[in-house]
Amino acid sequence: MLYRHAAAFSFALSLTLGAPAFAQETATEEAVPMVEVQADTVLATVNGEEITVAHVIAARQGLAQQFQTLPDDVLFPGLVEQLIQQTVLGQAVEEISRRGEIILENQRREIVASEKVDSIASEAVTDEALQAAYDAQYADAEPSKEFSAAHILVATEDEAKDLITKLEGGADFAELAKEFSTGPSGPNGGDLGWFGPGMMVKPFEDAVMGLENGAVSAPVQTQFGWHVVKLNDTRMVGAPELEEVREELVALVENNAVDAALQTLLDGATIERTELEGIDPAVTRDMTLLDN
């Protein structure tokens, strides 16, 4: 019931998209010059109520994913037609229902809160803030050891032992991985790239740490099966450059700023909470209460 209107308009949009798309195809023989538009450019007027480019842009953001991927020249006229339908239907309503008022109140809260969060986050990200976050995260970071390894994953210990026998006989590790490994790295010769401590399951990591460069392990069992592991190389790495972790730092600065601002607002607000014990949580599913 709550989303019946949204489903109806999605259906209406799917119907209106067909006609403009056909008209567009038949009109492509003559190129129509593009005109410059602004957010307040009027695209339609319904009983004096304007529908602008801004309304169409906002409407597109709320579309289901199935419509988001449609070509612009198909979606644009369909959205205009949808907004015309919504407007004329809305004008036919003398007074919005109590249910509608409640939904609008929640939507307004969500939109306003989202805009405030965006504002806080964008203002928080400065070069100084990113540098401070970087220093806090990495200034005292000790160099750590990384490993470059490859493995062949098989189902049984006997298969793993057979592979080791082949390797001892001079077989190429990468070729055996391509032929026998059931893991996703098999086609790449079993290569796992570089990884640090804690990035692999413990039995695998322990086996890698116990190898010399170029050595091959005894069969190693994990929850994924049996591994034959080869350590290719090791290296010591220090803290990453700031630019390497910029996205991570941006997210950290934004989250910290929003959390701090929210806590400040909560601390300064007068909030009176009703005790929730004794209220049936199933009340959240009782849509009939919205009509009272």
Would the pTM of this model clear 0.75, i.e. be above it? no
Q: Which residues pair with residue 146 across a beta bridge?
A: 235
CATH fold label, 144-237:
Chitinase A; domain 3 (3.10.50)
Q: What is the mean pLDDT of residues 85-96?
A: 92
CA dist 83 and 14 (Å) reads 13
Would you call 51 helix, strand, or coil by DSSP?
strand
pLDDT value of residue 55 = 95
**Six-digit token pair at 120?**
């806080």
pLDDT category of residue 10 using cuts at 50, 70 and 90: low
pLDDT surpassing 50 at residue 202: yes
pLDDT category of residue 23 using cuts at 50, 70 and 90: very low
pLDDT category of residue 142 using cuts at 50, 70 and 90: confident
Q: What is the mean pLDDT of residues 245-274?
A: 97
Would you call 126 helix, strand, or coil by DSSP?
coil
**Six-digit token pair at 282?**
């199933």
Query: What percent of the chain shows pLDDT beyond 70?
Result: 90
Domain ranges of the chain: 4-27+36-94, 99-141, 144-237
Q: What is the pLDDT of residues 205-251, one digit of tens each?
A: 999 999 999 999 999 999 999 999 999 999 998 888 999 999 999 99
pLDDT surpassing 70 at residue 141: yes
- Reported for 125-132, long-range contacts at CB under 8 A and 24+ positions apart, including other chains, are 125/250, 125/253, 125/254, 129/253, 130/242, 130/246, 130/249, 130/250, 130/253, 131/242
Task: Say if CB 269 and CB 175 are below 8 A apart.
Answer: no
| Burial status of residue 79 (CB atoms within 10 A of its CB: 0-12, 13-18, 19 or more) | buried
Element (H, E) at 93: none
Q: What is the mean pLDDT of residues 143-154?
A: 96
pLDDT value of residue 139 = 85
pLDDT value of residue 29 = 55
pLDDT value of residue 247 = 96
Give Cα 46 distance to the centre of its chain. Answer: 38
Sequence-separated (6 or more) residues with CB below 8 Å from residue 144 = 196, 197, 236, 237
pLDDT category of residue 19 using cuts at 50, 70 and 90: very low
Alpha helices in 28-71 (DSSP H): 53-61, 65-68
pLDDT category of residue 17 using cuts at 50, 70 and 90: low
Lowest mean pLDDT among 3-7, 43-47, 177-181: 3-7
Q: What are phi and psi of 57, to 5 degrees?
A: -60, -45
pLDDT category of residue 11 using cuts at 50, 70 and 90: very low
CA dist 222 and 204 (Å) reads 7
Q: What is the mean pLDDT of the chain?
A: 90
Q: What is the pLDDT of residues 31-40, one digit of tens each?
A: 778 889 999 9
CA dist 271 and 262 (Å) reads 14
Among residues 167, 149, 153, 158, the alpha carbon closest in space to that of 230 is found at 149
Give Cα 174 distance to the centre of its chain. Answer: 35
User: Cα dihedral sign for 243, 245, 247, 253?
Assistant: negative
